[in-house]
Amino acid sequence: MACDPINIRSYGGNGVGQSPTDWNNSLQLRHYRNGDVKAYVHQHGWHQNHGTSNEFAAVSILDCRTVEEVIMVLKGARVDEVPAYGSNFQDDLTKKLVDFGMAEALPAPDEDGGAS
């Protein structure tokens, strides 16, 4: 793993009794021995009556230059036909990607140092 998984969505029930499965999605950046880096959404579900379930979907965020671009890609991503991203995780995703060295957004036109 290039960094700790980043939570990007949580939904469902609590996974106990008749409650629906507790689902959690995380963004994983994996660094392989050959130098490749790949990004995945990991969907993990748990319910006491049927154990755990894991699904993975590749996401094309590696060419993104900003957190805004990553969020746009994640908004379109699906794992097992379910949206991968929940906007209530935007603050945490933004903080972790900025800490990782990614810009939050490109400068606005009035911030680029051009003529006023």
In eight-state DSSP terms, residue 109 is G
Is pLDDT above 60 for 116? no
> Token pair for residue 12?
């469902």
pLDDT value of residue 18: 92
Q: Is residue 87 domain-resident?
A: yes
Contact in structure between 28 and 1 (CB atoms under 8 Å): yes
Would you say 5 and 26 are in contact if contact means Cβ atoms under 8 Å apart?
Answer: yes
Task: DSSP for 27-40, please give it.
Answer: EEEEE-TTS-EEEE
Q: Which two tokens stand for residue 33?
A: 């021995």
Yes or no: say if 32 and 38 are a contact pair by the CB < 8 Å rule. yes
Whole-model pTM: value is 0.85
Structural domain count of the chain: 1
Q: What is the pLDDT at residue 112?
A: 64
CA distances, 102 to each of 17, 35, 64 (Å)? 42, 20, 9
Mean pLDDT of the chain: 91
Inter-residue contact 116 to 79 (CB < 8 Å): no
Q: Is residue 109 part of a domain?
A: no
List the domain range (segments joined by +) for residue 16. 6-102
Q: What are the φ and ψ backbone dihedral angles of 27, each rounded to 5 degrees?
A: -90, 125
Residue at 113 is within a domain = no
Residue 113: what pLDDT?
Answer: 60
Average pLDDT over residues 19-45: 94
**pLDDT value of position 26:** 96
